[in-house]
Amino acid sequence: MPAPSMDLLRFATAGSVDDGKSTLIGRLLLDSKAIFEDQLEAVEATSLSRGYDYTDLALLTDGLRSEREQGITIDVAYRYFATPNRKFIIADTPGHVQYTRNMVTGASTADLGLVLVDARQGLTEQSRRHAVILSLLRVPHLVLCVNKMDLVDYSQERFDEIHKEFTSFATKLVIPDLTIVPISALKGDNVVTRSAHMDWYDGPSLLHHLENIHVASDRDLVDTRFPVQYVIRPKSDQYHDYRGYAGRVAGGILKPGDDVLVLPSGMTSKISEIDLFGQDLAEAFPPMSVTVRLEDDVDVSRGDMICRPQNAPSPSQDIDAMVCWMATTPLQPRQKLAIKHTTRMARALVKDVQYRLDVNSLHRDLETKELGLNEIGRVQLRTTIPLLCDPYEKNRTTGSFILLDEATGVTVGAGMINSSS
Amino acid sequence: MTVHADYRLSQLDELEAESIHIFREVAAEFEKPVLMFSGGKDSIVMMRLAEKAFFPAKIPFPVLQVDTGYDFPEVLSCRDSWVSRLGVRLVVASVEDAIASGVVVDDGKTSRNRLQIGTLLNAIEEGGFTALFGGGRRDEEKARAKERVYSHRDEFGQWDPKMQRPELWSLYNGRIHAGEHMRIFPLSNWTELDIWHYLGQEEVEIPGIYFSHQRRVFERDGMLLTESEHNPMRGDETAQERTVRFRTVGDLTLTGCVESGADTIPAIIDEISIARLTERGATRGDDRFSEAAMEDRKREGYF
């Protein structure tokens, strides 16, 4: 039985209860029937027992005991809903500055970022910060929802003011695709269907936009990058000589017959077959998981990269990157960390913290030579082995890495490689 | 595989690719992984994905089943058929044996579901397993919605939701210390509907009790439970034959069925598309005790 051919959109939201984010998400989930009766009843009962005179839809997403006790969202929550043509994964994160690392986490896998502002207040520090983080993480599409339009009498003038303020702020950011929608999450205006109260707005409803935005072309289909994850050698009678390189395509379109270069060895060969579960594939592209076989018996192992002779990433031990720091003890020069980049593990030495970026004002603080918890800055690293990397702006897979504390094993940082590496 | 002309994958193919990536990553980075395989629908999807991830080689790790002693026979026979077809090694951690050897204490009040925790942790220790694949999905329950794909467990098997490691891009952090282990959830981004669409697409064997059948059942706490020697009826509970199917399969003393005539996967998909209760809320007594029932069990080392 063939499954429906719907595709996938991952989007990230951030914000607090005040700006109506939970109401908006609750409405999308309710209207697409992703919330079940027992879930809604549980939330209604809890709201009532707390003495609220409304159903607090935030309780749907605040899943942990401590979150419900404190009435705040402290972690990334993933929610799912689907319409007939598309499935959506929402990475829902708290918007406060002390949760920058959660916002960065949510944005790292997102195709689209959703920023909410209250029409009465206009842009706040929080909404600016969220837009900055989405831009740093190179989330290709951004939707600004000007919410609570019902409380400003659905005023076009107010919407235009915020529209202008945001677009002028956005010139400092990298936002390839920006859409601004006036909505009322509470009343449902322009959320699922076009609003009857704002005939001056001729754009799509939010859900219509989310359903129709084209995301496949955001992936790099030109520069072939195949990080080898695992070598498959069955050593069985039937597959005695089988040797396949398993991995997930990070860039480009691979086809049998392609000339390839294997890094770091520098050896060249040709792709003989691409297969998955015994099925020969005519081509493979991101984000497919496949097994690549080569014509020649070259030595390839985990951590290697299959690319094209004329189009390869630059192996480098000197990494220049924007790093988001996620540990309570600060990142400082001369610190030694473990680094994971694609399928390679190495060690890294912090050479320099060049500046700290103020995610509210975009100001570069050149004085501070360290990064504290939830701070983002430009950092120079030296690694024990070359990383086969691309600039993050070109490829979010081969341009990203995580930093681990060598003693505790905990993830302490996330990095996006700059083009000067 | 559905490939669109403009290099788009269907969402199910994208989920499959993500899960296969996770299986391969764990096999490459962990010394002793094991796959928790109950014979239920989610773990069957896991087996299928593992089969695909390493084909034409065999799955490079064993599978582990926690046998409550109250499992549905149809589920156990499906488990055995998968294990023999794929030629993987099956490790059974039996709650009965754990009670007999004093690993866990059956006080007559604690559910088998809860006794599974100590049994499982003991089996992990005995096997020296460093990574356990589980079939948990984030759409199942609120505590799961915030759990990582790689979910760290300390040397007591405990989950600490406040100390979770950030998880970015598809860069998973598998660092653990001796005695600790990682729970791995390759189906994190799948929903109940995705599971059924995938089972339909792959046309693989699943236990017959997921499909509509005649069964003698009795009602308890608003759930329909199966008549069984393991689950004596109380007071004025009476059994009668009904047309039912199971949405989840677990300990038969706690897992309810629903009245249903859905006898094919497309019919099941139609049924859950219009369902008004979550699969756990509808048929799992173990999740009903408190708002944080799942979180509490997970903290102690539950799946």
Same-domain status, A132 and A197? yes
Same-domain status, B220 and B123? no
- pLDDT value at residue A28: 86
Same-domain status, A255 and A381? no
pLDDT interval class at A75 (50, 70, 90): confident
pLDDT at A244 over 50: yes
Q: Check B198 against A1: CB less than 8 A apart.
A: no
pLDDT at A224 over 70: yes
- The whole-angstrom separation of Cα A285 and Cα A223 is 10
Q: Check B21 against A229: CB less than 8 A apart.
A: yes
Query: At A191, which amino acid appears?
Result: V
- Does any domain span residue B70? yes
- Burial letters B1-17, b for 16+ CB under 10 A, else e: ebbeeeebbbbbbbbbb
Query: Angle at the Cα of B238 (from B236 to B244), degrees rounded to 5?
Result: 140
- pLDDT value at residue B289: 47
Out of A3, A46, A402, closest to residue B201 by CB: A3
Question: What is the pLDDT averaged over residues A203-224?
Answer: 91
Q: Check B52 against A79: CB less than 8 A apart.
A: no
B12, B55, B140, B185, best to mutate vs chain A, most A CBs in 10 Å? B55
Among chain B residues, the shortest Cα distance to A405 is held by B175
- pLDDT value at residue B278: 66
- Does any domain span residue A338? yes
- pLDDT over 70 percentage in chain A: 93
- CB B126 within 8 Å of CB B178: no
Out of A39, A277, A343, closest to residue B52 by CB: A277
Residue-wise pLDDT for A20-73, tens only, equals: 887 888 888 877 777 766 777 777 787 778 777 666 666 666 656 666 565 556
Q: Check B162 against A66: CB less than 8 A apart.
A: yes
Same-domain status, B68 and B141? yes
Same-domain status, B61 and B184? yes
Q: Check B168 against A288: CB less than 8 A apart.
A: no
Q: Kindly report the nearest CA distance between residue A65 and chain B, in angstroms.
A: 6
- pLDDT value at residue A62: 61
Q: How many domains is chain A built from?
A: 3
Instruction: Quote the DSSP letter at residue B165.
Output: P
- Does any domain span residue B239? yes
Same-domain status, B167 and B238? no
Would you call B160 an interface residue with chain A, using a CB distance cutoff of 8 Å? no
- pLDDT value at residue B167: 94
Same-domain status, B170 and B99? yes
Question: What is the pLDDT averaged over residues A255-272?
Answer: 97
Same-domain status, B51 and B134? yes
Domain boundary among A177, A197, A218: A218
- Does any domain span residue B69? yes
B203 contacts on A by Cβ (under 8 Å): 1
Give the contacts of A387 (CB within 8 A, at least 6 positions apart).
A315, A316, A317, A319, A339, A341, A344, A346, A401
| Domain encompassing residue B249 | 205-287
Task: Give the CA distances from residue A6 to residues A11, A108, B15, in Å, rounded to whole numbers and listed in that order.
Answer: 16, 23, 12
Same-domain status, A42 and A77? yes
- Does any domain span residue A269? yes
A277, A290, A343, A392, best to mutate vs chain B, most B CBs in 10 Å? A277
Where residue A56 sits, what CATH number does that domain have? 3.40.50.300
Domain boundary among A167, A200, A218: A218
Same-domain status, A300 and A237? yes
Same-domain status, B183 and B224? no
Same-domain status, A201 and A230? no
Residue-wise pLDDT for A358-412, tens only, equals: 988 889 999 989 999 999 999 999 999 999 999 999 999 999 999 999 999 999 9
- pLDDT value at residue B2: 52
Among chain B residues, the shortest Cα distance to A100 is held by B166
Out of B17, B169, B278, closest to residue A397 by CB: B169
Q: Kindly report the nearest CA distance between residue B12 and chain A, in angstroms.
A: 8
Task: Give the CA distances from residue B25 to residues A112, A251, A385, in Å, rounded to whole numbers and listed in that order.
Answer: 26, 18, 20
**Following CA atoms A208, A210, A211, A213 in sequence, which dihedral angle do they give, to the nearest 10 degrees?**
110
Same-domain status, B18 and B64? yes
- Does any domain span residue A2? no
Whole-number average pLDDT of chain A = 90
Residues 8-47 (B) with a CB less than 8 A from some CB of A: 8-18, 20-21, 24-25, 27-28
Would you call B267 an interface residue with chain A, using a CB distance cutoff of 8 Å? no
Out of A230, A234, A287, closest to residue B56 by CB: A234
Residue-wise pLDDT for A154-172, tens only, equals: 999 999 999 999 999 999 9
Out of A7, A66, A82, closest to residue B8 by CB: A7
Q: Check B177 against A1: CB less than 8 A apart.
A: no
Start-to-end Cα distance in chain A: 49
Tens of pLDDT, residue by residue, chain B (303 residues): 555 557 889 999 999 999 999 999 999 999 999 999 999 999 999 999 999 999 999 999 999 999 988 899 999 999 999 999 999 999 999 888 888 888 888 887 777 777 888 899 999 999 999 999 999 999 887 778 888 999 999 988 888 887 889 999 999 999 999 999 999 999 999 999 999 999 999 999 999 999 999 999 999 888 899 998 888 888 889 999 999 999 988 888 888 999 999 999 999 998 887 766 666 666 666 655 455 666 776 677 666
Q: In chain B, what are the helix, strand and coil shares in percent, each to the nearest 5?
A: 40, 15, 45
Burial of A5 (0-12, 13-18, 19+ CB in 10 A): middle
B1, B4, B11, B278, best to mutate vs chain A, most A CBs in 10 Å? B11
Q: Kindly report the nearest CA distance between residue B97 and chain A, in angstroms.
A: 34
Q: Kindly report the nearest CA distance between residue A43 and chain B, in angstroms.
A: 10
- Does any domain span residue A55? yes
Q: How many domains is chain B built from?
A: 2
Where residue A248 sits, what CATH number does that domain have? 2.40.30.10
- Does any domain span residue B199? no
Q: Check A401 against B171: CB less than 8 A apart.
A: yes
B18 contacts on A by Cβ (under 8 Å): 287, 289
- Does any domain span residue A1? no
Same-domain status, A23 and A128? yes
- Does any domain span residue B200? no
Which has more confidence, A5 or B243? Answer: B243
Same-domain status, B179 and B217? no
Q: Cα B86 to chain center, whole Å? A: 19
Where residue B142 sits, what CATH number does that domain have? 3.40.50.620
- Does any domain span residue A158? yes
- pLDDT value at residue A133: 93
Out of B20, B21, B201, closest to residue A2 by CB: B201
Q: Check A278 against B55: CB less than 8 A apart.
A: yes
Same-domain status, B176 and B213? no
- Does any domain span residue A180? yes
Same-domain status, B273 and B222? yes
- Does any domain span residue A284? yes
Q: Kindly report the nearest CA distance between residue A183 and chain B, in angstroms.
A: 27
How, if at all, do strands A177-182 and A141-147 pair?
A: parallel
- Does any domain span residue B249? yes
| Domain encompassing residue A371 | 314-417
Same-domain status, A302 and A318? no
Query: Angle at the Cα of A111 (from A230 to A129), degrees rounded to 5?
Result: 115
Would you call B4 an interface residue with chain A, using a CB distance cutoff of 8 Å? yes
Among chain A residues, the shortest Cα distance to B9 is held by A7
Question: What is the pLDDT averaged over residues A116-132?
Answer: 91
Strand partners, A271: A294
Q: Of the spans A213-227, A309-323, B134-148, which averages the highest pLDDT? A: A309-323
pLDDT at A421 over 90: no
Domain boundary among A200, A218, A236: A218
Same-domain status, A208 and A233? no
Out of B11, B277, B292, closest to residue A38 by CB: B277
Same-domain status, A153 and A27? yes
User: Smallest Cα–Cα separation from B27: which of B63, B1, B53, B7?
Assistant: B53
* Residue B131, helix vs strand vs coil: strand
- pLDDT value at residue A322: 97
